[in-house]
């Protein structure tokens, strides 16, 4: 009988602990809401896109193209002087493309004009 009464007391204690309805105070709820609203405001102020500047892409494509043309001219032209002359012109045009790109970046707003805008994930819109 004692064991039975003891187990019922334990059962009552367990049931009482399971029925606790602790609710956070209104003050705590308001503080949490305020923090969430501030975080949301900060996230809305940040730009929702990431910008990738492609100002260097024409320079690289120019360099690759004219270096391949120089290699082709060295391999396909039988006359040694003419092949070196053609390869030199191709090399010169490649270097000129690099210099023109550097001057263009310094003198204009090429970095801003040649950009791709990529949307960030998980950012509030």
CB 110, CB 55: distance < 8 Å: yes
Dist CA 9 CA 2 (whole Å): 11
The reply to whether the predicted model has a pTM over 0.75 is no
**Tens-place pLDDT, residues 1-12:** 455 666 777 777
pLDDT (tens digit per residue) in 53-111: 888 888 999 999 999 999 999 999 999 999 999 999 999 999 999 999 888 888 887 77
| pLDDT (tens digit per residue) in 27-55 | 877 888 888 888 887 777 776 677 788 88
User: What is the per-residue burial (b if ≥16 Cβ within 10 Å, else e) of 57-67?
Assistant: eebeebbeebe
């Amino acid at each position: 009988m004692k064991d039975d009464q003891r187990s019922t007391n334990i059962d009552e204690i367990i049931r009482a602990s399971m029925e606790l309805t602790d609710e956070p105070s209104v003050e705590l709820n308001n503080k949490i809401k305020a923090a969430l609203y501030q975080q949301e405001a900060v996230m809305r102020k940040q730009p929702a896109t990431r910008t990738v500047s492609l100002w260097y892409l024409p320079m690289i494509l120019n360099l690759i193209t004219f270096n391949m043309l120089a290699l082709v001219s060295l391999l396909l032209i039988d006359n040694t002087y003419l092949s070196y002359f053609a390869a030199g012109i191709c090399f010169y045009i490649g270097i000129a493309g690099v210099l023109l790109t550097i001057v263009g970046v310094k003198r204009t707003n090429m970095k801003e004009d040649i950009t791709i805008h990529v949307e960030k994930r998980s950012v509030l819109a």
